[in-house]
Amino acid sequence: MPSGMIYARRLAVLATSAALTVTGLLSTAPAAQAAMPTPVSAATARTYLAALTVKAAGSTTGYSRDLFPHWITQSGTCNTRETVLKRDGVNVVTDSNCAATSGSWYSEYDGATWTLASDLDIDHMVPLAEAWRSGANSWTTAQRQAFANDLTRPQLIAVTDNVNQAKGDKDPAAWLPPRTAYRCTYVRAWVQVKYSYDLTVDSAEKNALESVLNGC
Q: Dump pLDDT digits (tens) for 78-108.
A: 999 999 999 999 999 999 999 999 999 999 9
Query: Distance (Å, rounded) from C-alpha 42 to C-alpha 214?
Result: 8
Q: Quick check: 184 and 215 in contact, CB under 8 A?
A: yes
Confidence of residue 3 (pLDDT cuts 50, 70, 90): very low
Burial readout 136-175 (b: 16 or more C-beta within 10 A, e: otherwise): bbebeeeebbbbbbbeebbbbbbbbbebbeebebebbbeb
Please choose, from the candidates 171, 203, 173, the residue with its C-alpha nearest in 3D space to the C-alpha of residue 55. 203
Laid out side by side, the sheet with 100-106 consists of 89-94, 100-106, 113-114
Query: Distance (Å, rounded) from C-alpha 140 to C-alpha 157?
Result: 24
Q: Dump pLDDT digits (tens) for 43-82.
A: 999 999 999 999 999 999 999 999 999 999 999 999 999 9
Q: Quick check: 102 and 117 in contact, CB under 8 A?
A: no
Rounded to 5°, the CA angle 55-59-61 comes to 155
Mean pLDDT computed over 21-47:
64
The pTM is what?
0.84
- The proportion of the chain whose per-residue pLDDT surpasses 90, expressed as a percent, equals 84
Q: Dump pLDDT digits (tens) for 168-198.
A: 999 999 999 999 999 999 999 999 999 999 9
Is a pLDDT exceeding 90 seen at residue 5? no
- The proportion of the chain whose per-residue pLDDT surpasses 70, expressed as a percent, equals 84
Q: Secondary structure of the chain: what % helix, strand, coil (to 5)?
A: 50, 15, 40
DSSP H helices, the chain, are 3-28, 42-51, 80-88, 128-133, 141-148, 161-167, 183-196, 203-213
Is a pLDDT exceeding 80 seen at residue 38? yes
DSSP-derived 3-state class of residue 93: strand
